[in-house]
């Protein structure tokens, strides 16, 4: 399984940004010069990358649309037209990075592999994602600023955790998947339990200095143990 790296999925870690005035392949802002009309896709990509960098570096509340527009070399009006404002832009940033990360995985709604294989690949991608430094920083920022910016928390949940839970719920509702589990365990409950097993005490650890991301071998062992816990507690014919 291909495992995308940090630079493929989230803006570069804020600690690294201080060492770079300009970043290759989509850093905070482009070099001077007005993009041509044919570069619309590249401009949109640069805008999202720039916004993501600034949100992580400075925090959601301290970033203005004027600041983003200046560094991305676009008009503030462009951001309003395309995204409706800062909340919409943040929504697009999170959605883009989440979609890019899970793009290597077949759609859960149509993946016909055996259940353990499907959940193992999902578990590896999900656990790698939530333990990445930039993802941890993003979660901590949302927790810290949610009280003053409720739209931030709502947007983040809808596009991040909420979207993941909805996807899993549809998967556990599949006619070929639902009968594998014990009666009374709804797809919604299975989704919540799987995510809780995979995350462990991740939310609590966000409040403190996060540990280093696990190595590949450690990650696989961790996911295997947590999926075993999930399956033993939910399958109709769980292994003894």
Looking at the structure, tell me whether residues 118 and 154 fall in a common domain: yes
Structural domains of the chain, count: 2
* Residue tagged 């503030």 (tokens): 76
In a domain, 174, yes or no: yes
Looking at the structure, tell me whether residues 128 and 228 fall in a common domain: yes
Question: Per-block average pLDDT, block size 10, for the chain (240 residues)?
Answer: 38 37 40 57 87 91 93 92 91 84 83 96 90 83 88 86 92 97 96 93 69 82 95 86
In a domain, 79, yes or no: yes
Domain that holds residue 193: 105-234
Does the predicted model carry a pTM greater than 0.95?
no
Looking at the structure, tell me whether residues 197 and 111 fall in a common domain: yes
- pLDDT at residue number 17: 36
DSSP at 178: G
Closest CA to 52 of 7, 21, 5: 7
Looking at the structure, tell me whether residues 154 and 79 fall in a common domain: no
CB neighbours of 79 closer than 8 A, spacing ≥ 6? Answer: 47, 65, 68, 69, 85, 86, 89
Looking at the structure, tell me whether residues 14 and 71 fall in a common domain: yes
Classified as helix, coil or strand, 181 is: strand
Looking at the structure, tell me whether residues 117 and 230 fall in a common domain: yes
Contact by Cβ (8 Å): 55, 96: no
Closest CA to 53 of 141, 155, 156, 183: 141
- pLDDT at residue number 39: 67
DSSP at 35: P
- Give the CATH number, domain containing residue 19: 1.10.10.60
- pLDDT at residue number 19: 34
In a domain, 100, yes or no: no
Looking at the structure, tell me whether residues 52 and 139 fall in a common domain: no
- Give the CATH number, domain containing residue 217: 1.10.357.10
pLDDT (tens digit, 9 = 90+) per residue, 162-186?
Answer: 889 999 999 999 999 999 999 999 9
Looking at the structure, tell me whether residues 203 and 114 fall in a common domain: yes
Looking at the structure, tell me whether residues 119 and 61 fall in a common domain: no
Sign (positive/negative) of CA torsion 128, 129, 133, 137? Answer: negative
Looking at the structure, tell me whether residues 64 and 154 fall in a common domain: no
């Amino acid at each position: 399984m291909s495992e995308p790296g940090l630079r493929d999925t989230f803006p570069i870690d804020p600690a690294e940004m201080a060492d770079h005035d300009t970043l290759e392949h989509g850093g905070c802002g482009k070099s001077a010069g007005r993009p041509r009309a044919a570069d619309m896709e590249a401009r949109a990509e640069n805008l999202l990358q720039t916004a993501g960098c600034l949100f992580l570096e400075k925090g959601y509340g301290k970033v203005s649309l004027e600041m983003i527009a200046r560094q991305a070399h676009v008009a503030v009006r462009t951001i309003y037209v395309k995204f409706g404002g800062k909340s919409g832009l943040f929504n697009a940033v999170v959605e883009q990075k989440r979609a890019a990360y899970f793009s290597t995985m077949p759609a859960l709604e149509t993946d016909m592999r055996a259940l353990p294989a499907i959940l193992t690949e999902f578990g590896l991608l999900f656990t790698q994602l939530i333990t990445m430094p930039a993802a941890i920083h993003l979660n901590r920022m949302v927790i810290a600023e949610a009280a003053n910016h409720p739209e931030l928390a709502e947007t983040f949940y809808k596009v991040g955790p909420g979207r993941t839970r909805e996807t899993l719920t549809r998967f556990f509702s599949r006619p070929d998947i639902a009968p594998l589990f014990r009666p009374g365990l709804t797809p919604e409950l299975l989704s919540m339990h799987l995510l809780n097993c995979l995350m462990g005490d991740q939310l609590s650890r966000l409040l403190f200095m996060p540990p280093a991301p696990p190595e590949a071998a450690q990650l696989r062992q961790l996911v295997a143990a947590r999926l075993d816990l999930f399956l033993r507690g939910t399958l109709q014919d769980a292994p003894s």
